[in-house]
Amino acid sequence: MSDLCARTCEMSKKVIISVVALLLSFSALAQSEKLYLDTDFNFDFDNTEYSGSNLAPSETLFGIALAPALRYEWNDKHSLGVGVNMQKMFGSVRFLDDIKLIAYYQFRNENYGAVAGLFRREKLVGRYSEAFFSSAWLANNRLVQGLALQYTDNIGYAELVADWNGMYSMECREQFRILFSGEGRFAKVMYAGASAEMHHYANRADFRYNVVDDIVINPYIGVDFNTFFDFDIRLGYLQSLQRDRINDEGWKAPMGGELFFRMSRWGVFISNNLYVGRDLLPLYDSVGKEGTIYGADLYAADPFYRTSSGVYNRTGIGYERDFWQDRIKVKAEFVLKTDGERLYNQQVISLGLNIAPKLYDKNNKQNK
């Protein structure tokens, strides 16, 4: 076993032992209300065939993620959770490729909600285009580190998120994202909303004055209805404001329009997403003070939004279905992409499992 693998195994064991000790001490406090073991399992296969493209590489992402967490709930409104999020990429020499702590407090009533700490991204309710987050980025960044405030009712929702995903240090840049998403329904089948992101990509401990401001705003309007098939059609506008302070070139303001269409029945679907506009990631190839390009470290969006032809189209055909009261989610999709010049393809298979067995309920025990 290599030194790297041995160090990874040792670190993983220490983290797991520490978290287990926390869980055991935490469970001892649960003398009333309810105690659950929340467990999320994800299996992801994402193969891209982008040969000849200068926008994104051909690669295969293939692995699993497991996130067990002990959650103590009281008054049906308050929860405290502690656990770990573990990821393993198939073929990797490491015991685990990533392991992070899960620790959060959550409040939820009929309309209002709040989550603070380190928690799974599935707790967010907002709608974010792939101009914000690509599916590959989301698969590798499953935790929010910060705070989410939410409001939901039978008409719509609003959400505000602060995600601190880079601590000022010798190893990484200081960076955080402020996200907003809100949506409301009207006229029975129509909806309108907006999403926004402010990403602050700042300095590292060994250099200064290399700050990038990255802002994206996405208002949209859509309609969803059923006439044998389920239809979802959405038209949106994407406006970006970006500034690289090290190069002092002023603000860049690329923009474009996005038209989304989806038709489905019995889980089988066909979807199409058409973007027409300017390159939304103009600083992608810029070089920072560390001597490397910003690339995916700055941008979480699908890199095909860098199109130089003014057109990016994504067509997907596949199967997507939820089973067992939404506890199991299955998806298989074949994707065709074009940057306006050439045609590329992608294959995606994913399986998600979420279970939360109740471990303890004092009231139930008393009723036996």
Per the CB < 8 A criterion, the answer to whether 214 and 298 are in contact is yes
pLDDT at 366 over 80: no
Q: For residue 65, is pLDDT > 90?
A: yes
- Residue 295, classified by CB atoms within 10 Å of its CB into exposed (0-12), middle (13-18) or buried (19+), is middle
Question: In this predicted structure, what is the pLDDT of residue 242?
Answer: 95
| Three-state secondary structure call for residue 238 | strand
CA–centroid distance for 118 within its chain: 14
**pLDDT exceeds 50 at position 209:** yes
Burial class (CB in 10 A: 0-12, 13-18, 19+), 19: buried
- Give 9's pLDDT tier (boundaries 50, 70, 90): low
What residue type is 185 in one-letter code?
R
- Long-range contacts (CB closer than 8 Å, 24 or more residues apart) made by 188-193: 189/223, 189/224, 189/225, 190/221, 190/222, 190/223, 191/156, 191/221, 191/222, 191/223, 191/224, 192/219, 192/220, 192/221, 192/222, 193/127, 193/156, 193/219, 193/220
The predicted model gives 111-115 an average pLDDT of: 96
Return the exposure string of 144-160: e unless at least 16 CB atoms fall within 10 Å of the residue's CB, then b.
Answer: bbbbbebeeeeeebbbb
Q: pLDDT tens digits, residue range 337-350?
A: 999 999 999 999 99
Q: SS3 of 10, please?
A: helix
Tens digit of each residue's pLDDT (9 = 90 or more) over 305-334? 999 999 999 999 999 999 988 899 999 999
Average pLDDT, the chain: 90
Rounded mean pLDDT of 36-60?
Answer: 94
pLDDT value at 367 more than 50:
no
Q: How many distinct helices (H) and strands (E) make up the chain?
A: 4, 17
**Domain residue extents for the chain:** 43-59+75-86+109-353
Look at residue 18 and tell me whether its pLDDT is greater than 80.
Answer: no
Q: How far apart are CA 71 and CA 238, in angstroms?
A: 38
Q: Which residue has the higher pLDDT, 251 or 22?
A: 251
CB within 8 Å of 36: residues ≥ 6 apart: 70, 71, 72, 73, 356, 357, 358, 359
> What is the per-residue pLDDT across 24-40, written as a single tens digit (0 to 9) for each?
555 555 446 899 999 99
Token pair listed for 29 = 């406090």
Q: How far is residue 219's CA from residue 196's CA, in Å, rounded to a whole number?
A: 8
pLDDT tier at 365 (50, 70, 90 boundaries)? Answer: low
SS3 87: strand
Query: For residue 310, what pLDDT is reported?
Result: 94
User: For the residues 251-269, what does the mean pLDDT come to?
Assistant: 97
360 confidence band (pLDDT: 50, 70, 90)? confident
Determine the topology of domain 43-59+75-86+109-353 in CATH: Porin (2.40.160)
Q: Distance of alpha carbon 24 from its chain centroid, rounded? A: 30
Q: Which structure tokens are listed for 9?
A: 């195994």
CA dihedral (26, 31, 33, 37) in degrees, to 10, reads 40
pLDDT at 247: 75
Check if the beta carbon of residue 95 is closer than 8 Å to that of residue 83: no
Q: How far is CA 336 from the centre of its chain?
A: 22
How large a percentage of the chain has pLDDT more than 70? 89
Element (H, E) at 276: strand 268-277
Residue 10 has pLDDT above 80, yes or no: no
Helix extents (H) in the chain: 3-27, 135-140, 295-298, 362-367
